[in-house]
Each structure stands twice: as structure tokens, then as C-alpha cells.
Amino acid sequence: MIESKVNYPAVGAFVLVLAAVLVAAILWLATGGAFQQRYDLYRAISEESVSGLNLNAPVKYNGVEVGKVRAIRLDPANLERVNLLFAIEHGTPIREDTLAVLKTQGLTGIAYVELSGGADDSPLLQAVAGSDYPLIRTKPSLGNRLESVLTNVLAKVDSTSNSLNVLLGEENQAALKSILADLASVANTLAARRDSLDSGLLDAARTFKQTAKAADGLAPAIERIDKAAAAVEKMGNEVSRTSATAGQTIQVVGSDIERFTAETLPELERLLGELRELATSLRRLSEQTERNPSGLLFGRQPVPAGPGEAPRERAKP
């Protein structure tokens, strides 16, 4: 019987190589293999408590899970802020107007991150200079908004309560009791005089009726007054037009007077001067006639010569 010769080292090496290949294939398949999803990293800053949010908490976009929370850390520069790091599936359209908000799931209190917004015409979110990852903006959660509203409401309720306490103090209570007592007294007085009040109301009703009748009677007089007022208004309009015409006439007369003054006044002044000279000559003639009436007929007589003077030769005519 012939025995086959087996190469045990080759068989052992083959077994080792096959085992290594199987282990590598298993590890590759366990990590996703060819179907392994790629993720993009994004930052977010929350200014509220992230209680209930854990690592690997889902990140959803309009309710669809698109990633996980990879890191949760306090901001060393401001302990009131929390830095969040998201791993979001590659190709998810995270845009500049996309917002992140913290939500809780059901009654369990497990928190997750909800992304919303992102208009089609908004550009994709990019990392700015000096930052490793793009920064997604955040908005307050529903719980934070409710807490703010409740805080404001409680503050207003507290203020209202204090105002009521001041309003209902001992002094105000005493004043209120006095006012109620006065009102009760007035009510009793009105009840006691109800018959008189009813009679007064009836008299007032009759008076109103008579007033209405008198008003109906005044209607024709009012109509006549309206007509008279219209006539007065018409007369006023006529007077206004007459005044305007008189004003125009006065303006024309004024311009004529100015022209007359400018043209005639110098001639009139010259005429007055000549009249004054004529009047002076006539006055001299009158005085001379009164002193020597014969001189008007025989002319002026020569003055006789004085003692020692030679007689003057008569002037020739």
C-alpha cells in the first residue's frame, strides 16, 4: 500500500491565511463594509440646559434621523453655554438658515436634537475662518420658552397680589365699608321717595313732549332765519364785490393823482410865484395911489431940492 506524502507546512500556512481572511471579512462587514455611511461634523452652541441629552442621542431633520450627538462639553469661556458636536450623514442639506432645537421624546424625558428650516435658495452652511466645523444656529426649546412665559406670568401674578394687598388694606377696607353704607343709605332714600321720583319722571316726559311740539313749531321760523341768513350772505358778497370795485377805482384815481402831481405841480408852483410877485406889485401901486392919488393922472412929481442943493434936471420921458 502506497501512502501519499502530505506537505503539512503548506497546509498550515493555507489554514492560517484563510483564517486571517475570514477574520478581516467579519470585521469589515461588522463596521459596515462597502455600505459604511460617511458623516460630516457640525457645531452648535446651546445657551440653555441640555439635561436629558446624552452621547449618541439622535439628530433628526424634520423627524428623520440623520445623525448622532458626538460630544457635549461646557464652554470654558462661558459656563452658561454648552458646545455640542453633531455627526450628520454626508449629503444632508444643512443650510445657513437651518436651526437646531432641543426636544424630548414622549414621557421618557430622553432628549434629542431636531433640525428645521433650510430654504432651497439658502446657501449650504460652511465653516468660517478660525473654526474647525460649521456652526448651526440654535433656538430655545419648548420647555425653555414655557419656563420664560411661566416666570413672567408668576411675576405679574405676584405684582398683582401685592397691589391687591395694598388695595385691600385696613384703611381702604374702612373707606370701602363707608362707601357701601352711603350707597345703602342712598338706595333706601330712593326707595322711600319712589312715588315722587315716578311723578317727576312723568312730568319730565310731558315736558319733553311739549318741547318736541315747540320744536316742530319753530321749524318754519328756523327756515325763514335760514333764508334771511342766505340773503344776508348774498348781500355781503355784493358788498365784497362793490368794495373790490371801489378799491380798483381808488387805485386808478390814485395813479391819476400821482401823475397829475408829478406833471402839474412844478407849473403850479411857478404860477403861484408869479401871482405873488403880481400881488406885491399891486400892493405897492395901491399904497402909492393912496399916498398920491394925483400921481395916477399926472405921473410921479420930482422931489423938491433941499437947502443948498441944485435943482435936478427932470428926467426925460
> Residue 64 is inside which H or E element, if any?
strand 64-75
Q: What is the pTM of this model?
A: 0.42
97/119 Cα distance (integer angstroms) = 7
Note every long-range contact of 88-91, with CB atoms under 8 Å and residues 24 or more positions apart, other chains counting. Answer: 88/39, 88/40, 88/41, 88/42, 88/59, 89/37, 89/38, 89/39, 89/40, 90/37, 90/38, 90/39, 90/40
- What is the rounded distance in angstroms from the CA atom of residue 48 to the CA atom of residue 111? 13
Contact partners, residue 305, CB within 8 Å, separation at least 6? 311, 312
How high is the pLDDT of residue 265?
A: 67
pLDDT, tens only, 89-145? 988 888 999 999 998 877 667 889 999 887 888 888 888 888 889 999 998 888 788
Dist CA 210 CA 307 (whole Å): 124
The string of pLDDT tens digits covering residues 152-163 is: 888 888 888 887
Between residues 215 and 25, which one has the greater pLDDT? Answer: 25
pLDDT confidence of 51, banded at 50, 70, 90? confident
Q: What is the band of 278 on the pLDDT scale with cuts at 50, 70, 90?
A: confident
Q: Indicate the DSSP class of residue 306.
A: -
Q: Which helix (H) or strand (E) holds 59?
A: strand 58-61
| Average pLDDT for 259-286 | 74
Residue spans per domain, the chain? 37-139
Mean pLDDT of 141-152: 83
- 33 band by pLDDT with thresholds 50, 70 and 90: low
Q: What's the pLDDT at 68? A: 93
| Per-residue pLDDT tens over the stretch 203-254 | 888 887 877 777 676 677 677 777 777 777 777 777 677 767 766 766 665 6
**Mean pLDDT of all residues in 287-305:** 60
List all residues 6 or more positions away from 314 whose beta carbon is below 8 Å from its beta carbon.
302
Helix, coil or strand: residue 200: helix
